[in-house]
Amino acid sequence: MKLLFKKYQTYGKICLSVIILGIIFSKIEAQAVVKMVYQLTLFTFILLILITILKFFSQAYLWSCCLKINCNHQFSLKSILKTHLVGLALRFFLPGGYGTFGKAFYLDQDKKQTIISIFLEKFFGVWVIIFFALWSFLFTISRYLFLIRFLAIFVSILPFLLPLIFAKISTFSQRTAYYKVLIKIIITQIIYELLTFYQYYILFQAILGNLISFGKIAQTISFVLVANTIPITYSGLGIRETVSMYILPKVGIPAEAAVGASLLIFFLNSIVPALPGVMMIWGKALNKKKEQGSK
């Protein structure tokens, strides 16, 4: 019954994404979005792909750091990369947080400890988005500054408090291993988010020319990316584009360019990295079927 609920929940998110995208394209010129993509140069595409590759390896490194908390086991680079690819595929095709945990079954390790690593990976993925959004708020609004400043500081130190919050369900060795890799994780996630901002910056530079600074793009996109943390549509699709359409024009970016950039970056960051993982899952399923057939 629970699996059936999750299945229809995913279908519902897909339908909601389609509806929202339909509403968006009824308000903007779809041809302008397509034209924007076609006018990008080969150099721009290559640069965007290179950044996507850097982002992939930064998240693979994050995954390896999270796995190090399992102190009694050393994972090979091949195992780390394989499970990271599988996790990207499962996260994309089973959105809402359920799919990512499936990669625990692709590791030869205690599943409970592996799930702790996956939880940490997901936590830092959300944390870095909230971190940048809150600090960006401090430079954009004048009201509720005390509250926002308090939240920004609290979120900044939250990773250091995490082992204390979960002290009752974690071991001393896990907490020690966590603090050993914490700074590496934080730096990795900050670099990852800056690379995302740079993807948007490159796109808007190619489309609009040298009109908007990287700082302004980073500040504005940090609000857009908060949509990725709202699990009501398929991988944030639709919500993110809606936020882009209403926020980015305020800094001089046309709605068509905002929506087009959001969709293109979603394709590069979510769909493209998920494809190798899909092939791995499919290959493993075929091999298992052959083994069962030979028996």
Where residue 287 falls among pLDDT bands split at 50, 70, 90?
low
Find, among 267, 269, 262, the residue nearest to 20 by Cα: 262
pLDDT at 104 over 80: no
pLDDT at 4 over 50: no
C-beta atoms surrounding 95 within 10 Å: 22
CA distance 100 to 112: 14
Query: Each residue of 228-256: pLDDT tens digit?
Result: 777 777 777 788 888 888 888 888 888 88
CA distance 253 to 255: 6
Domain-located, residue 192: yes
Where residue 182 falls among pLDDT bands split at 50, 70, 90?
very high
Q: Angle 103-65-113 (CA atoms, 0-180°, nearest 5)?
A: 50
Query: Tell me, what's the pLDDT at 2?
Result: 46
Domain-located, residue 228: yes
Domain-located, residue 59: yes
- Which tokens sit at 50? 């290179």
Domain-located, residue 98: yes
Q: Are 133 and 225 in contact (CB under 8 A)?
A: yes
Domain-located, residue 292: no
Global pTM value: 0.87
Single-letter code of the amino acid located at 29:
E
Pick the more confident residue, 253 or 198.
198
The domain of 154 spans: 2-276
pLDDT at 7 over 60: no
Domain-located, residue 294: no
pLDDT at 194 over 90: yes
Domain-located, residue 64: yes
Q: What total of structural domains would you count in the chain?
A: 1
Domain-located, residue 35: yes
Compute φ and ψ for 138, nearest 5 degrees: -60, -25
- Length reported for the chain: 295
